[in-house]
């Protein structure tokens, strides 16, 4: 066991070292430049077609008929957010603050800004290269654009196929770690700490509830997440806002600490903290990537199941996903902690000895008393459980790619059984291993995005010319001729 841990530490250090983080952010910068800074230059357009569209376009939230295996754009967003808004938004932000200081939040914002276009590009490619399985359900993701897109390049057929298989294997393995046992363990530990509920009882109950949802398939999970995610996100956001308002006088100091910490301008012992910049940069980037998962190629698998026909429209939901996860939820968590007095905003040093979720709980308890601890325990339960639902989709899609549609039920049954193990096991090694597999997922995915960056640029320009500039050009809906023809025949119904 110790040997495995040592090997994993070495691999994890390589996978999530500075070169990998540079690759992740570099891909976002590349896609931002190639799309003309789409997240800024067309901010009104993508915002009105995502959050704004929920209130004015019925097609965004409309459910497909029972026999139709597609899900709505809003359901795809909620299912993706179910997986991305998780314990990382609480424990991850706290860890970044404790280790990298307030400046880590600034670099988390930078990662999110460019990550918007990485996630956008993944979704565009996911829709463009997707296909339907034997049950009429859309299947898309990194494995498909690696095999069909990268594999379609001259001399790249074999490498595209190999990378697609590797991505799928890493995804399945990661789904049991970061997408299942680690999340369930966080729930069990917190419920036991706050409400004294036995871990085994938590595991059995969650296994029963999860089986009712997960075994029911994508549409049932989507039906649950479209109700659960908005509720839990709004509830948590309101809670953070209450803490911030209660300490409103500390907001200027909090933002000052974030900016100064990002560039090492904090004075400690009469000098400037040189190494602080490196720590803030590294931890801000790492936590930002783990929080919104842009570049991992995970959420594209559920976005590809949407009933949308325009690749760019689903890409815009990818932009909003990163915005909601990091710019909104992570920032509010950070402000709640920084304004609560658990950290010295002048020096960036921790006053509290608490770590991870306990640090956030302490921040809430300082304002709300014992109720603050209860609130965080409930938030972690909702966040972590929704992550389990979202990652069950990712793992099942990767498993389906490897072994076929009929084999997916086997994966779902094993996935549900592992929930009990997650509640009762010491998962330190499992969490480290899942971090490693998560990073290994990103490598083939980023290779595919970079190689196919020209395709993303063409699809984006095509959409802008047609939908924004009003030009009469042939749309780019799919790389597969028969699907392209099918989508062209559909009426322009807002999707």
Return the pLDDT at 245. Answer: 94
Residue 327, burial from CB neighbour count under 10 angstroms (0-12, 13-18, 19+): middle
Question: How far from 470 is each of 11, 411, 458, 473, CA to CA, in Å?
Answer: 50, 46, 16, 9
Classified as helix, coil or strand, 342 is: coil
Return the pLDDT at 269. Answer: 40
In this structure, are residues 188 and 367 in contact, taking their beta carbons and an 8 Å threshold? no
Give me the phi and psi of 27, to 5 degrees please. Answer: -65, -40
Q: Any idea what DSSP says for residue 71?
A: B
What is the spatial distance between Cα 288 and Cα 161, in angstroms, rounded to a whole number? Answer: 30
Right CATH for 10-489 from 1.20.1300, 3.30.70, 1.20.1740, 1.10.3470: 1.20.1740
Return the pLDDT at 271. Answer: 38
What is the spatial distance between Cα 98 and Cα 305, in angstroms, rounded to a whole number? Answer: 38
Segments making up each domain of the chain, as ranges: 10-489
Q: Write down how long the chain is.
A: 495
Which of 290, 303, 478, 301 lies closest to 399, judged by CA?
Answer: 301
Classified as helix, coil or strand, 138 is: strand
Which of 364, 351, 320, 358 lies closest to 102, judged by CA?
Answer: 351
Interacting residues of 180 by C-beta distance below 8 A, sequence separation 6+:
388, 391, 392, 415, 418, 419, 422
Is the whole model's pTM more than 0.95, yes or no?
A: no
What is the spatial distance between Cα 90 and Cα 358, in angstroms, rounded to a whole number? Answer: 9
Structure tokens at 456: 């993303």
R_g over Cα of the chain: 22
What is the spatial distance between Cα 216 and Cα 145, in angstroms, rounded to a whole number? Answer: 27
The percent helix, strand, coil of the chain (3-state, each to 5) is 75, 0, 20
Return the pLDDT at 76. Answer: 81
Which of 157, 161, 116 lies closest to 25, judged by CA?
Answer: 116
pLDDT along the chain (495 residues), means of 10: 51 60 89 96 92 76 65 80 78 81 89 94 95 84 94 93 95 87 84 86 91 83 84 90 92 91 59 54 70 83 88 94 91 91 74 70 87 88 88 92 91 92 73 71 93 96 94 93 87 53
Structure tokens at 475: 């749309």
Return the pLDDT at 275. Answer: 47
Count of beta carbons in the 10 Å neighbourhood of residue 8: 17
């Amino acid at each position: 066991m110790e040997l495995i841990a040592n090997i994993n530490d070495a691999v994890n250090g390589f996978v999530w070292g500075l070169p990998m983080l540079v690759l992740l952010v570099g891909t976002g910068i590349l896609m931002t430049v190639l799309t003309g800074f789409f997240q800024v230059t067309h901010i009104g357009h993508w915002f009105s077609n995502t959050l704004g569209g929920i209130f004015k376009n019925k097609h965004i939230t409309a459910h497909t008929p029972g026999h139709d295996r597609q899900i709505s754009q809003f359901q795809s967003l909620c299912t993706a957010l179910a997986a991305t808004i998780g314990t990382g938004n609480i424990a991850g932000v706290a860890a970044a603050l404790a280790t990298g200081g307030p400046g880590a939040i600034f670099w988390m914002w930078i990662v999110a800004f460019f990550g918007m276009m990485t996630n956008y590009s993944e979704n565009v490619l996911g829709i463009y290269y997707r296909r339907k399985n034997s049950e009429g359900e859309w299947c898309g993701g990194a494995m498909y654009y690696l095999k069909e897109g990268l594999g379609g390049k001259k001399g790249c057929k074999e490498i595209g196929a190999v990378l697609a298989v590797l991505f799928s294997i890493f995804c399945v393995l990661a789904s049991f770690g970061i997408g299942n046992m680690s999340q369930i363990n966080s729930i069990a530990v917190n419920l036991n700490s706050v409400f004294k509920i036995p871990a085994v009882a938590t595991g059995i109950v969650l296994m029963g509830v999860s089986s009712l949802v997960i075994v029911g398939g994508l549409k049932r999970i989507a039906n649950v997440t479209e109700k659960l995610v908005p509720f839990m996100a709004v509830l948590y956001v309101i809670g953070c806002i209450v803490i911030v308002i209660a300490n409103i006088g500390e907001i200027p100091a909090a933002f000052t600490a974030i900016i100064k910490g990002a560039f090492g301008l904090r004075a400690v012992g009469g000098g400037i903290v040189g190494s602080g910049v490196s720590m803030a940069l590294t931890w801000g980037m790492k936590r930002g990537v783990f929080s919104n998962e842009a570049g991992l190629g995970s959420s594209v698998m559920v976005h590809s199941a949407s009933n949308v026909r325009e690749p760019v429209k689903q890409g815009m939901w990818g932009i909003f996903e990163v915005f909601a996860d990091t710019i909104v939820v992570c920032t509010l968590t950070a402000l709640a902690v920084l304004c609560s007095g658990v950290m010295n905003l002048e020096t960036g040093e921790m006053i509290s000895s608490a770590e991870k979720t306990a640090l956030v709980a302490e921040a809430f308890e300082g304002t709300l008393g014992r109720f603050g601890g209860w609130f965080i325990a409930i938030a972690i339960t909702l966040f972590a459980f929704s992550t389990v639902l979202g990652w069950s989709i990712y793992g099942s899609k990767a498993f389906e790619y490897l072994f076929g549609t009929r084999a997916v039920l086997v994966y779902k049954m094993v996935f549900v059984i592992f929930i009990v193990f997650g509640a009762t096991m010491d998962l330190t090694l499992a969490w480290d291993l899942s971090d490693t597999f998560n990073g290994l997922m990103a490598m083939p995915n980023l290779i595919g995005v970079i190689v196919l960056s020209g395709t993303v640029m063409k699809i984006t320009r095509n959409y802008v010319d047609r939908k924004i500039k009003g030009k009469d050009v042939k749309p780019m809906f799919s790389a597969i001729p028969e699907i392209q023809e099918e989508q062209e025949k559909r009426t322009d119904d807002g999707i």
